[in-house]
């Protein structure tokens, strides 16, 4: 299954979530976005 990323409403350009439950924190440095932190299976960890 291909992972599809979408911005989180109200937090565009800061956070993204995928259809597999992965959350990314984005930072802007040197004129480009980089991934600061990534948490896999976010939905499973909250249970």
- The tens digit of pLDDT for each residue in 1-47 reads 898 999 999 988 888 888 988 888 887 777 766 676 666 665 555 44
Enclosing domain of residue 15: 5-45
pLDDT at 25: 85
pLDDT at 6: 93
Tell if the pTM clears 0.75, that is, is over it. no
Q: How many separate domains does the chain show? A: 1
pLDDT at 14: 86
pLDDT at 39: 66
Residue pair 23/36 in contact by the 8 Å Cβ criterion: no
Q: Please name which of 19, 8, 11, 12 lies closest in space to residue 43, comparing C-alpha atoms.
A: 19
Rg over CA atoms, the chain: 11
Pairing of strands 5-7, 32-39: unpaired
């Amino acid at each position: 299954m291909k992972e599809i990323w979408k911005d989180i409403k109200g937090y565009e350009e800061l956070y993204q979530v995928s259809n597999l439950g992965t959350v990314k924190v984005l930072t802007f440095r040197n004129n480009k976005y980089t991934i600061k932190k990534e948490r896999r299976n976010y939905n499973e960890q909250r249970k």
